[in-house]
Amino acid sequence: MDAKEIRLMVQSTPNPNALKFILNTQVKTEGRATYKNAEECHTNPMARHIFSIPHVTEVYFFDNYITVTQDGNGDWDALEEQVRAKIMENISQHNPNFTLQEPVKKTQLTSTPEITKIERILDETIRPALQMDGGDIQIVGYENNIVLVNYQGACGSCPSSAMGTLKAIENILKDEFNPEVQVQLA
């Protein structure tokens, strides 16, 4: 898509420290990517450019949007313009098919019937709302009826994620999966 045809819309999120930058083109064709610092962005120059902006603490790519989280010390008006400029300067060279370089020590969550069912429930009930708000949730473990999760994007540092959303997720999983299940942050 020609850079002149690119449109960018900025949307607030429930997290006061995160904004969602929505484009009319894909930024990630498959899956999602969360970066906590510029060093993690080996295969994604766009994310590296965004991290060059002071106060940026996380950059999240999914489908046609990029969620940018700041440390709370930056002025959003100035940051928004800087992020917008970095995206527009780099979108024509951005490859939405980029792959993630996984850390060597990271272990892949083994798919079990329980994990598959939990993922399906999250896909149907929780993820659409989180993604609409510029975030997501990742299961990182399941053992002894405890589901360990990490929030991504705008949800990662959102005050309501830590308690309210976590409890809502637990209640849905209790109703649809197992009454004994507990959901905790990893």
Contact 130, 108 (CB under 8 A): no
Winning range, highest mean pLDDT, from 139-143, 160-164, 165-169: 139-143
pLDDT tens-digit series, residues 30-88:
988 999 999 999 899 999 999 999 999 999 999 999 999 999 999 999 999 999 999 99
Contact 20, 50 (CB under 8 A): no
Q: At 161, is the pLDDT very low, low, confident or very high (cuts 50, 70, 90)? A: low
Give pLDDT, residue 1: 55
Answer whether residue 102 shows pLDDT above 60. Answer: no
pLDDT tens-digit series, residues 110-148:
889 999 999 999 999 988 888 888 888 889 999 999 999
pLDDT tens-digit series, residues 3-37:
569 999 999 998 999 999 999 999 999 988 999 99
Which is it for the CA torsion 150, 15, 157, 160, positive or negative?
negative
Answer whether residue 166 shows pLDDT above 90. Answer: no
Q: Are residues 59 and 132 in the same domain?
A: no
Three-state DSSP class for 86?
Answer: helix
Q: At 101, is the pLDDT very low, low, confident or very high (cuts 50, 70, 90)? A: low
Give pLDDT, residue 85: 97
- The domain that holds 161 is classified in CATH as 3.30.300.130
Instruction: Count the domains in the chain.
Output: 2
Taking the C-alpha atoms of residue 96 and residue 1, their distance in angstroms, rounded to an integer, is 12
Q: Are residues 123 and 178 in the same domain?
A: yes
Domain range holding 136? 113-185
Q: At 2, is the pLDDT very low, low, confident or very high (cuts 50, 70, 90)? A: low
Domain boundary among 58, 93, 128: 93
- The domain that holds 19 is classified in CATH as 3.30.1370.70
Answer whether residue 103 shows pLDDT above 90. Answer: no
Q: Are residues 86 and 166 in the same domain?
A: no
